[in-house]
Structure 1
């Protein structure tokens, strides 16, 4: 299942400026609620970023791939109505430990961040 993506810089910056934050050793999550109005509510969107501090381009891309897979698994388990009309913009920021962590632990980190920010019940 492909998740709708955040691609524009202004959307990343808005989530960083006004969104809720949660951090775990494997990742940082910024969750920005998007006002939903009626049946045309915005779907949940996800963006991924990794800073140059983490490593070179190969390392950063591998880190983003791990985050994408974790998001695909964890949000795939979420209620379907959350994905269709969730009204959230989620930005997952990779850390140095993202690529070193066990994948199950990384998914647990993501679940914890989603619950802490109120995206998942």
Structure 2
């Protein structure tokens, strides 16, 4: 799994599929190259809160992906998680269920 770091990668993912959930929005985009590695990126805007709140949200999103993406992630695709306001108030287990649900929906949509 590789981490997205360039702005162009995030903009490309934004042109992909979008799966909104109460705690975050999942963006998924097939890269179309020969590499099967999954890409993952995180973004949390200032609308979510101050720096402490944003960093806490990013830590939670990273841990969610660390647990869920190896089994449920889509190989050869870039995944971007965008934190939403109130995401820190949601129980961590519920966020995990939301991510599993979003990844399942993404896999079904990309399989077509």
Say whether the fold is shared (TM-score over 0.5): yes
Superposed CA offset, 1:49-103 (max 9, x none): 0011000111101100000001111113x07xx67xx110000000112211111
2:22 and 2:97 mapped to 1: Cα distance?
11
How far is the alpha carbon of 1:42 from its aligned partner?
3.8
Say whether 1:111 aligns with 2:108.
Answer: no
Name the residue aligned to 1:19. 16
Equivalences for residues 40-59 of structure 1 within 5 A: 41-59=35-53
Q: TM-score, normalised by structure 1?
A: 0.83
Question: 2:91 matched to 1:97?
Answer: no
Point out where structure 2 has 5 or more consecutive residues left out of the alignment.
none
**What residue number does 1:71 align with?**
65
Which blocks of at least 5 consecutive residues in structure 1 are unaligned? none
Moved over 2 A (4+): none
**RMSD across aligned positions (CA):** 2.0
Give the distance between the partners of 1:49 and 1:57, measured in 2 at CA: 12
- How many residue pairs match? The answer is 110
**TM-score of the pair, normalised by structure 2:** 0.89
